[in-house]
């Protein structure tokens, strides 16, 4: 039943309960939490501020209308992050919307793995180190292939003050989100441009190549949740017949572009890292790869150094 105050207006509690009930019908991951984010946005406040308010207080009519519009979009299976227009990622608050893949938790793990591998390389004075000879006195370079919203390259540069970065993507729409995020974060060490994987990059210039490439098997795409299938870009998802087609091309190009000792780091689907490590070993261009786990304990990607 709708929760009204004495004057007849809907209260915070009433709106949240109603919305959570509707969101349960579409199997939203956490209906109450989603309702809180949407109502906070409708009111123009942060969620913690909403939670600090008296839930029995009536909500202004203009905010109720706005909430109704946002909720309707979410009930039409638009992803929550597109409706909110923002997504937290690895300590950054990014903007996001149609045309760019929503950055995921497993990609935050990739960022952590890469940051610690590159920091370790710096302290160990490996070829990827921002130190030593005249050649290496330039800031080392990392390239994020298929940068989408710019999440990976911007998060890594935030964690690695001595580095510079490039984000490449084939999609104009994705790049426009990356450009907005670069401006929001205020990152001046990052170039963004349109390209097909690493084809427009000169040989032997990169100290790290990092990628979350499309890796969903083509046959699995029709079975994805409507939030993904109908709203996120297909070119961000489709990894071909076995999910590894972009990875195979990336290995060839990273072999050309990485300096000796440079790092290749790639996120993959849970059942792909072992086959990918075999492909990498067969190339003969990399030291043995090591895999990393996502938050659910599944193998989700690999890292390897160029010989």
Reduce the DSSP state of residue 116 to 3 states and report it.
Answer: helix
CB of 79 to ligand SAM, least distance (A): 13
Question: Cα angle vertex 66, ends 61, 67, to 5°?
Answer: 95
Q: Of 37 and 177, which CB lies nearer to ligand SAM in the complex structure?
A: 177
What sign for the dihedral angle of Cα 226, 227, 231, 237?
A: negative
CB of 45 to ligand SAM, least distance (A): 27
Closest CA to 144 of 100, 186, 184: 100
136, 158 contact by CB (below 8 A): no
Q: Of 11 and 212, which CB lies nearer to ligand SAM in the complex structure?
A: 212
Q: Of 19 and 94, which CB lies nearer to ligand SAM in the complex structure?
A: 94
164, 207 contact by CB (below 8 A): no
Q: Of 58 and 213, which CB lies nearer to ligand SAM in the complex structure?
A: 213
Q: Of 128 and 201, which CB lies nearer to ligand SAM in the complex structure?
A: 201
| C-alpha count within 13 angstroms, C-beta hemisphere, residue 150 | 32
> Binding residues for ligand SAM, per CB under 6 A?
101, 103, 107, 146-149, 151-152, 168-171, 174, 196-197, 212-214, 235-236, 246
CB of 214 to ligand SAM, least distance (A): 5
CB of 295 to ligand SAM, least distance (A): 15
CA distance 179 to 184: 9
CB of 92 to ligand SAM, least distance (A): 12
Q: Of 101 and 303, which CB lies nearer to ligand SAM in the complex structure?
A: 101
| C-alpha count within 13 angstroms, C-beta hemisphere, residue 266 | 29
Helix (H) or strand (E) holding 179: helix 172-185
CB of 51 to ligand SAM, least distance (A): 29
């Amino acid at each position: 039943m709708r929760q009204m105050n004495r004057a007849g207006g809907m209260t915070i509690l009433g709106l949240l309960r109603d919305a959570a009930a509707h969101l349960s019908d579409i199997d939203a991951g956490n209906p109450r939490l989603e309702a809180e984010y949407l109502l906070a946005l409708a009111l123009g406040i942060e969620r913690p501020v909403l939670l600090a308010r008296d839930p029995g207080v009536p909500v202004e009519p203009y905010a109720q209308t706005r909430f109704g519009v946002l909720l309707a979009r979410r009930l039409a299976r638009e992803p929550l992050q597109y409706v909110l227009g923002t997504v937290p990622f690895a300590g950054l608050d990014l903007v996001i919307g149609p045309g760019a893949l929503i950055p995921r938790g497993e990609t935050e793990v990739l960022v952590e793995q890469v940051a610690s591998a590159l920091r370790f390389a710096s302290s160990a004075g490996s070829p990827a180190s921002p130190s030593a000879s005249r050649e290496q006195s330039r800031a080392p370079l990392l390239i994020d292939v298929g940068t989408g919203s710019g999440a990976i390259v911007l998060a890594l540069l935030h964690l690695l003050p001595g580095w510079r970065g490039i984000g490449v993507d084939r999609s104009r729409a994705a790049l426009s989100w990356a450009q907005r995020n670069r401006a929001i974060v205020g990152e001046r060490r990052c170039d963004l441009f349109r390209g097909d994987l690493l084809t427009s990059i000169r040989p032997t210039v990169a100290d790290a190549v990092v990628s979350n490439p499309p890796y969903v098997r083509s046959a699995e795409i029709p079975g994805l949740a409507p939030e993904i299938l109908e709203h996120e870009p297909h070119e961000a998802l489709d990894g071909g017949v076995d999910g590894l087609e972009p990875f195979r091309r990336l290995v060839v190009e990273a072999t050309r572009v990485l300096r000796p000792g440079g790092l290749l780091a790639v996120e993959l689907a849970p059942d792909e890292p072992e086959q990918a490590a075999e492909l990498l070993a067969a190339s003969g261009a990399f030291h043995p790869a090591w895999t990393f786990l996502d938050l659910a304990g599944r193998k989700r990607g690999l890292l390897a150094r160029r010989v």
